[in-house]
Amino acid sequence: MKRILLMHRGLCLRTTAVLLLSLALFVVNAQAQDADNDGLTDAQETAGIQLIPGVTLPGGINFLGLCPTGALATDPCVDPAGPDLFIILVRAAAGSRIPTNPLGFMVNLSQALGVHEISNNIDRCIISGCVQKAIRITEDLNTNDTIWGRSLFQGTPNTAGEATVFTQRIKNALDQKYQSAGLGLAPQAVVDNCIRHVIAHEGGHNEAISPQANTRFGGNHYSTTDKVVMSQSATITVKGSTVTVVCPSTYASPDVTGFRLK
């Protein structure tokens, strides 16, 4: 009987150890889960994250309106129910033409997407440990060419992540079209929307959207007639005294469903 009791006790201890190990693994896995596949764990996005410059971005359920207000501002908090994209927007030191709400077109990629502008840091890190990186988009006032934006690579924030927007070139091109129609300078609202479009476009190259490279369209773009964010170029037409500018704010359906952040 004593031997049976000892064997039973040993079995209980082993069972308890297995259960404790399983529980520990469950906790670790739960902490590591990233349901929205944005490089931040569900636990981090629920608790809130401490950004590299020392700013806390609260956690919450933003589609229920439970996020604290006044935190960072395109989206005021992180949310495990939807992916979070982080942008470092480096404005020109003097004469910047970056408009208000510069990331306004980027949020159209997904209803669940949270877009956050954060402070610059050399490695584009979002939080300490740098598991997930931000996209850095730098404003350049250079006017020695006609292209409106440039991305070094096609990829994700972690595999690419650097882009440039030439805001003065955008204004100059639009002003020239309006002046050719006898209308003076381009309306500021038109210029601002085209700058927002280019920010979204160059950001898109760093979110792995427009995934198929096509030499006819200059790389990872759709044809200009698609009139989507990742079109090869914006459309500007002049007929008599009428100027029509199309700098799209919407995305192609494959991009809406297929973008990646890591």
Q: Which pLDDT belongs to residue 172?
A: 98
First to last CA, the chain: 60
Q: Which pLDDT belongs to residue 60?
A: 66
| pLDDT (tens digit per residue) in 89-122 | 999 999 999 999 999 999 999 888 889 999 999 9
The pLDDT of 82-88, averaged and rounded, is 93
pLDDT band at 82 (very low <50, low <70, confident <90, very high): confident
| pLDDT (tens digit per residue) in 45-75 | 988 899 988 788 888 655 455 565 544 546 6
Q: Which pLDDT belongs to residue 163?
A: 98
CB atoms within 10 A of CB 150: 16
Examine the pLDDT at 23 and tell me if it is beyond 80: no
State whether residue 135 is helix, strand or coil. Answer: strand
Tokens of 104: 């306004």
Q: Which residues contact 167 (CB under 8 A, 6 or more apart)?
A: 92, 96, 97, 98, 139, 140, 141, 195
22, 29 Cβ separation under 8 angstroms = no
What is the CB-side half-sphere exposure of residue 99 using CA atoms within 13 A?
21
The pLDDT of 78-91, averaged and rounded, is 92
Q: What is the mean pLDDT of the chain?
A: 86
Hunting for tokens 């809406």 — which residue is that?
A: 256
The separation between CA 189 and the C-alpha centre of its own chain, rounded to angstroms, equals: 23
